[in-house]
Structure 1
Amino acid sequence: MGCSLPLIRLENISKSFGRVHANRDVSLEIEEGKILALLGENGAGKSTLMSILAGQLQPDRGHIFHKGKRVVFSSTEKAIEAGIGMVYQHFKLVNALTVAENVYLGTRGGFGLNWKKIRKNVRELGLQYGIDIDPGARIDGLSMGERQQVEILKLLHRQSNILIFDEPTAVLTPREADNLFAAMKQMVARGKGIVFISHKLEEVMAIADNIAILRRGQIVDRVPAQEVTSTAELAERMVGREVLLKVDKSPVEPKQIVLKVDRLSDDRLKDVGFDLRQGEILGLVGVAGNGQKQLVETICGLRRPKGDNIRILGLEWGRFFRKPDWDKTLSYIPEDRQGLATCQGLDLLDNFLLTTRGGFTRGPWLQYDQARVKAEHLLEKFDIRPPDLTACAWQLSGGNLQKLVLAREFYRKPRLIVAEQPTQGLDISAAEDVWRLLLKARDAAGILLVTGDLSEALALSDRIGVMFDGRLVACFAADDQSKVAEIPQLMAGLSV
């Protein structure tokens, strides 16, 4: 496509955080008009490498070449000026500003901007790529999926010619993901180069031109996508062993009711009602922003119901949260692993103790030594990298941070688990482990699984619930094939 030089060439890039080598002598090319899929297990160094390219981090060694010319991206502004745009796995948005304000943040001439025209432009830009979002909505009122869309709008607005997507479909519905892929194909057709980071191997097979695989900070494989015959082969190349990509779901006899929601209504929810029993997984699916967030927050004590509509483990909502126990009770695995599930500035031991400290107290004393022994065991059991309790939460990759949260919450032996996007950002091997843990946990718990991954919901759930416009519009057995076939229509609000 005109110039034979790659848009970007990374040469022998290395980056360490203390004793942890995130990248070791990585060399990579991003070509004009091509989509490069960058794969690897959690902690392999993918996000670190792309943060270096985007000017967010500086390499310890190595060089970056832009169209054959050596460059130094000493800041994100320098990278943006060179045409590099990145949608981060963890969003870089200002919660107090609107969608349009975030999209135009950093635009010169801010005092003379016509905001009515800008909002119109943002809406038109979104609709052009299948993103229907209110430009005047504040970020703090949006779902995670809607926030992801704002990040994509920012990138599209800057018209970058080198685009980095870090897990862009993690919070998108299948239809939204299809729209994104269509837009990506338009971008490369116009000569842009794209880096696509994803743990969803079927997406990689469908969209990528070339694939590069990182393992423990080093490139271990490069292959044209057309030469990979299956997702199973791709998973084996990535992990270094055979990955089954499925779990065996043995039946469990449902027992007593652990959660009862009865005609729950508020400013978003409308007469939501269902029961959840020990021994079953209820998978809740729906397009982001249709009430799942409000329902989860109410069940987990972050929002007060307007009436006596919820009973948890046999207790009325207010009585349950008046003085909750630390173990054998409710465990919440939130979607927002950085802002809600963990404290980024605390080390891993203190993050472990956020919800488990009741098990390590004797009178007024906190028994750190006992907690340290248990936490070290969990780091090894859950393969959390780096396995260093003195590391701060912000130093972990998104996937390893999620594994820390899961390790902590499963340690509490809960009887009710609310798991919100539990495998988001996890590699296929780690996701497989989480699936097995959830299925095993059914023996002692009822599980409310809120997920945007329909295949995950179908693989794990005993029953499926579909939400639309604040309502639970359907709830049925996961093996009811006729109902399963109707899920896309139900998610779109079409009565069947």
Structure 2
Amino acid sequence: MKQPAEAVIALEGISKSFGKVHANKEIRLTIRKGTVKALLGENGAGKSTLMSILAGRLQPDAGRIVVDGKAMRFGSAKDAIEAGIGMVYQHFKLVESMTVAENVFLGQEGGQILKPRVMEATVKELALSHRLDIDPAARVADLSMGEKQRVEILKLLQRKSRILIFDEPTAVLTPQEGEQLFKALVHMAEQGKSIVFISHKLGEVMRVADEVAILRKGEIIEEKCISDVTSQDELARMMVGKETFLEVVKHKVEEGAVVLDVRDLAGNGLKGVSLDVKRGEILGIVGVAGNGQKPLVETICGLQAPEKGAITILGKTWKSFFSRRKTRETLSYIPEDRIGLATCPSMNLSDNFLLTTRKGFRRGPWLRRKRVERESQNVVDRFSVLPGHLSSQARHLSGGNLQKLVLGREFFRNPGLIVAEQPTQGLDIATAKLIWDHLVSARDNAGILLVTGDLNEAFALADRVAVMFEGAIVDVFDVADTEKRERVGLMMAGAA
């Protein structure tokens, strides 16, 4: 029987509270040499807090961190890095105007001034030894998202990090880049590095992890070797404490009239985009972040005017639609930025409900407050928004509950067209499944434009898929076209 690898990090009794909220409670967790440990949990389970403590960004209220058998206290991220712990965040911290090699060496203390050729040779050797394909002389601004992520990893490796923490690392990657990352993680583990892998994508966990630890309500409730986990459904059950079926059941809906027609849309980063959405269907837009999805959505939803081309929404021209926009039976927008654009953090739930529905509750200059409270409470109850108090401020809701509030508010408007932008990004599987079910049901009365970076989500929900690259539509195909589905990763990288 294979002996377990030696422990390099032990978290012993880690607790952390923010006011009355107990983010972490008496957590005990061991990270072993040469293993990939996945950390799973619903939104608000305490994953980010725990990893911020391990990375030195937060200090625990109680408990200790033991590194190589020695108790240590990290007062800053610098202390953690010196102990060999580094974290690769979702949002990269790179200087775009500098080269790869310059970024890798940037901020290092105690070293001599190195010539560019020396730095590039050092980085090239480091990249080759860890199977991280990169040109050390390339300017960071010219790199893909996957290449930028490799630079972040190389920065940590150059600082001799032995424990690397990855927070949702595939969120901005193409499938090919994700596969390259998985191979690099496995190779680093084989070289003795310890990897902590945070992801909501259960297939990724099954693919790359050796061990999995489940956080629920701030506590570690289960740990397993991945070889003892039978399926993604089992992982989902462990996370939420009940049976969760990941499959989306799509009832048949007859296609209706065209509710969105975009023709030769150009400018604002777009290059001749044409597409249409019919009532009763979901059109999925996929692509690596930054390839035109944002300006397309903002133009369709009225946040910026089209420079060239034409848009027809629910039978009206773009200008006519937004000059006299109705409160109900209209366009509903579920933005990616749920805390900044979709809601106002300092306002309570009923006032956030009014942000896009206010006109429907006015009687002359007066607001019908009792009806507002009744309808907003119905939305909170129907969409299981917790805590369900209308007086709660939006800032106190988890990401998942905030998204359910936004979804409920926009569905209340009985829209004919729904634009959903990254609707489940960063959400746990139970909340994501609820949102998927609501979007599928909404096809009865609406056409849906779904913008997502998650191919599994696109293929599960959409009837057709459009691939974007550098501001243009590469292809549009039926989701049942298996040949096109196999090539979608290449399309996302620009292959026609």
Do they fold alike, i.e. is TM over 0.5? yes
Q: Name the structure 2 match of 1:129.
A: 132
Query: 1:208: Cα distance to partner?
Result: 0.8
User: After superposition, where does 1:322-471 map in structure 2 within 5 Å?
Assistant: 322-344=323-345, 348=349, 350-364=351-365, 371=372, 374-387=375-388, 393=394, 395-471=396-472
User: After superposition, where does 1:468-479 map in structure 2 within 5 Å?
Assistant: 468-479=469-480
When residues 160 and 342 of structure 1 are mapped into structure 2, their CA distance, relative to the original with a 3 A threshold, is farther
Residue deviations 1:66-88 (CA, integer Å, cap 9, x gap): 22222222333332332322234
Query: 1:344: Cα distance to partner?
Result: 4.8
Within 2, Cα distance between the matches of 1:278 and 1:14?
A: 50
Are 1:481 and 2:482 matched, yes or no?
yes
Residue deviations 1:185-221 (CA, integer Å, cap 9, x gap): 2322232211111111111111111111111221111
Q: Name the structure 2 match of 1:293.
A: 294
Within 2, Cα distance between the matches of 1:414 and 1:80?
A: 50
Conservation of the 8 A alpha-carbon contact between 1:221 and 1:237:
yes
Structure 1 residue identity aligned to 2:80: A
Within 2, Cα distance between the matches of 1:334 and 1:131?
A: 34
Query: 1:172: Cα distance to partner?
Result: 2.2
The 3-state SS of whatever aligns with 1:425 is: coil
Which shows bigger deviation, 119-128 or 306-315? Answer: 119-128
Structure 1 residue identity aligned to 2:141: A
The 3-state SS of whatever aligns with 1:284 is: strand
When residues 210 and 94 of structure 1 are mapped into structure 2, their CA distance, relative to the original with a 3 A threshold, is closer
Within 1, Cα distance between the matches of 2:176 and 2:363?
A: 52
Query: 1:11: Cα distance to partner?
Result: 1.3
Structure 2 residue identity aligned to 1:129: L
Query: 1:447: Cα distance to partner?
Result: 0.6
Conservation of the 8 A alpha-carbon contact between 2:174 and 2:492:
no
Q: Name the structure 2 match of 1:199.
A: 200
Conservation of the 8 A alpha-carbon contact between 2:145 and 2:173:
no
Conservation of the 8 A alpha-carbon contact between 1:165 and 1:196:
yes
Residue deviations 1:427-468 (CA, integer Å, cap 9, x gap): 222221111111111111111112222222122111121223
Residue deviations 1:327-348 (CA, integer Å, cap 9, x gap): 4322222333344434455555
The 3-state SS of whatever aligns with 2:491 is: helix
Q: How many residues align?
A: 491
Within 1, Cα distance between the matches of 2:277 and 2:298?
A: 17
Which shows bigger deviation, 342-351 or 45-54? Answer: 342-351
Within 2, Cα distance between the matches of 1:52 and 1:45?
A: 11
User: After superposition, where does 1:269-288 map in structure 2 within 5 Å?
Assistant: 269-288=270-289
Within 2, Cα distance between the matches of 1:432 and 1:40?
A: 15
Q: TM-score scaled to structure 1, two decimals?
A: 0.85
The 3-state SS of whatever aligns with 2:308 is: coil
Within 1, Cα distance between the matches of 2:146 and 2:299?
A: 19
Query: 1:154: Cα distance to partner?
Result: 5.5
Within 1, Cα distance between the matches of 2:254 and 2:487?
A: 27
When residues 103 and 342 of structure 1 are mapped into structure 2, their CA distance, relative to the original with a 3 A threshold, is farther
The 3-state SS of whatever aligns with 1:238 is: helix
Which shows bigger deviation, 398-407 or 419-428? Answer: 398-407
Query: 1:44: Cα distance to partner?
Result: 1.5
When residues 117 and 108 of structure 1 are mapped into structure 2, their CA distance, relative to the original with a 3 A threshold, is same
Within 2, Cα distance between the matches of 1:491 and 1:485?
A: 12
Within 1, Cα distance between the matches of 2:93 and 2:364?
A: 43
Are 1:309 and 2:310 matched, yes or no?
yes
Within 1, Cα distance between the matches of 2:183 and 2:148?
A: 20
Query: 1:135: Cα distance to partner?
Result: 3.5
When residues 247 and 116 of structure 1 are mapped into structure 2, their CA distance, relative to the original with a 3 A threshold, is same
Q: TM-score scaled to structure 2, two decimals?
A: 0.85
Conservation of the 8 A alpha-carbon contact between 1:130 and 1:179:
no
Which shows bigger deviation, 222-231 or 363-372? Answer: 363-372
Structure 1 residue identity aligned to 2:495: L
When residues 55 and 312 of structure 1 are mapped into structure 2, their CA distance, relative to the original with a 3 A threshold, is same
Conservation of the 8 A alpha-carbon contact between 1:122 and 1:135:
no
Are 1:208 and 2:206 matched, yes or no?
no
Query: 1:150: Cα distance to partner?
Result: 7.0
Within 1, Cα distance between the matches of 2:344 and 2:144?
A: 21
Q: Name the structure 2 match of 1:33.
A: 34
Within 1, Cα distance between the matches of 2:122 and 2:389?
A: 47
Within 1, Cα distance between the matches of 2:338 and 2:396?
A: 13
Conservation of the 8 A alpha-carbon contact between 1:35 and 1:193:
yes
Residue deviations 1:222-242 (CA, integer Å, cap 9, x gap): 111111121122222222222
Which shows bigger deviation, 224-233 or 77-86? Answer: 77-86
Q: Give the unaligned 5+ runs of structure 2.
A: none
Query: 1:19: Cα distance to partner?
Result: 2.8
